[in-house]
Structures are given as structure tokens and as C-alpha cells.
Amino acid sequence: MIRRAFFTSFLNRQITRTIFSSKIINNNVEETENLTHFGFETVKASEKADKVHKVFENVAESYDLMNDAMSAGIHRVWKDVFLERFYPTQGTKLLDVAGGTGDIAFRYINYIKKLVKANPDNNVQSSVTIYDINQHMLNVGMKRAERLGFQSNEALDVDWVCGDAEKLPFDDNQFTAYTIAFGIRNVTNIDNVLREAYRVLQPGGRFMCLEFSHIEDSNLLQWQAFHHKNIYDQYSFQVIPPMGQILASQWEPYQYLVESIRRFPKQQDFKKMIRAAGFRAVDYENLTFGVCAIHSGYKV
């Protein structure tokens, strides 16, 4: 009986999502009518922030557990590669947006600590501001930081700020680096986020984004691309939401997760958006066939 109810619920949700997906309208029309997407659902732009906020409020405590379960731990490798490509130096002033539970910030802190140990006579101070729209996510991150001993000291200043990525409460030209990992697809207006990133970066500052993306045919033979996409789609829609229900007692947030990935711009399109915001030397690197990608650009 329980098994039948579970799969009946799953089927009903999939039917509902299929109906929503059939009603998706062109992005340009959505912007004209002040509409946007929330997964496969079309909603008023004014409603999306609250919907996304509720999603992450509900999953804050289980966020790290689900990341490990959904990706079999590969998300940790992606984030390690992201930090390697970032290659921070002592004196870096980092703004980590959508930093929530601290995954990128903590890697950055460890990196800076190694640099300080290797160069004890270098007295320049580095900093990281972890910024997130959801206080629940920040609370989880601050608890982790306290447990790990990641507090401000003479070599590194650590700050936690709650706010909107589309309206940063910081001065122009304040940071030398801006990172955002698995967060930009959740905002209402990506262009606003990119413009704000450009504004708060110093000339020469670097923008870096790690985000779920799209498997590109150019990476594989056509039949291989189709095969990988088919497996990836089946896993995304048939495994991740039920896994969320089992491990976190949350289905809808993880249904939204896989749908939001499909609605995010493809790599080349996002590259054009970053360049349109003013960044130069814009490029991207696919990870795991394009399941996610690292995007980078510089303010000149």
C-alpha cells in the first residue's frame, strides 16, 4: 500500500510537471510580461524570490547531505577544481555570493591559510564575505565555521551577510574576486546579478561562476551525447526527487532543482550574458561532459 501510494504520488507530480512544461513561453515574452520561470512553472517575477527562498529554507539542514547523495560526492571534486581555477593570492578580497553553507568560502580559507603558512612574513590581509539571501543557509554555514575554527584573524577577515544578489549592499570597486557556485540559476534576473558583480569588483577583478549546465554534443560523438543525456535526464527526474523525499522528507525542492537546471542558459548563451555585463576574457570550462561548467571573466 505504501509503495503504491509513493509511486502514485510520483506519477501525479510528473504529470503536473509535464503540463507545466507544455505551457512554457519564450524567455523574451516572459520578460515583456514581467513573468519568469520557477522550474518548469511560469510565475510572476515578483513571486520567484519568495518561492526560491522557501525551497532553501526547507532544505538548509539537509543541504550538504543531499549534495553528497545526489552527486555521489562529485560536487566536492567540482568545487575543488573551481578553487584551483580561481587560484587566489594573499590579499584577495573575495565576495562569495549564494555562499550559504560555506563550501566555497571554506575551501578559499584553507587555501589562504596554506599561503600564509608558506609566506609568514607577508602581512597583507585577505578577506571573504559570505553572502546569501537565505539566513537559514547562512546559519548552517556559521555553525560549520565555528566548528571548523574558521573565524577572523590577523591574516584573514571572515564576514557573513544576508541579502539579495540583485541588490548588493556594497560600494563600487570593493572586491578583487566574486564567486557564485550553484546559485545564479535561482535568481529572478541573471542580468541584474551580473551587472552587480561587475559593479562591486575592482578593475582587474575576476568573476567566477560554477553552475549546473548542459551536456554539449561537441564534447562527444552524437550517439554518445544522446546516450549520456538520456541517462542524465532519467537520473535527474526519476531518482533525485524520490531521493529528496527519502533522505530529506522533501520532494518539491529537488523537483525544482532538476527543472531549474534545464531552464538555465546553455554555456555559449551564458557566456554572451557575462560579456554583455561588461566582463572581458570571458570563457568557460565544462566539467563531467558539461553536467556543470566553470565560467570566468575579468573587469577591465
Least confident interval from 8-12, 21-25, 61-65, 221-225? 21-25
Nearest Cα residue to 88 out of 76, 74, 99, 104? 104
Binding residues: 101, 132, 164-165
pLDDT at 41 over 80: no
pLDDT at residue number 88: 97
Q: What is the pLDDT of residue 8?
A: 43
Write down the pLDDT at residue 46: 65
Phi, psi of 280 (to 5 degrees): -125, 170
What phi and psi values does residue 129 have, to the nearest 5 degrees? -110, 115
End-to-end CA distance of the chain: 62
**Residues near 202 by Cβ (< 8 Å), separated by ≥ 6?**
93, 173, 174, 175, 176, 299
pTM (predicted TM-score): 0.76
Q: Which residues pair with 164 in a beta bridge?
A: none
Distance (Å, rounded) from C-alpha 50 to C-alpha 121?
Answer: 47
Higher confidence at residue 126 or residue 239? 126
Which amino acid, one-letter code, is at 202? Answer: Q
Sorted by where each begins, the domain ranges of the chain are 35-299
Mean pLDDT of the chain: 80
Over residues 71-117, the pLDDT tens digits come to: 667 889 999 999 999 999 999 999 999 998 899 999 999 999 999 99
Q: What percentage of residues in the chain have a pLDDT greater than 90?
A: 51
d(CA 163, CA 99): 11
pLDDT at 294: 98
Closest CA to 182 of 287, 282, 84: 287
Least confident of 88-97, 153-162, 163-172, 234-243: 234-243
Q: Which residues contribute to the annotated binding site for S-adenosyl-L-methionine?
A: 101, 132, 164-165
Q: Which residue has the cell 560536487?
A: 75
Neighbours of 130 (CB within 10 A): 28
Provide the β-strand partners of residue 157: 127
Which of the residue ranges 144-148, 179-183, 244-248 would you say has the lowest mean pLDDT? 244-248
Query: Which fold does the domain 35-299 belong to in CATH?
Result: Rossmann fold (3.40.50)
In this structure, how many other beta carbons lie within 10 angstroms of the beta carbon of residue 277? 21
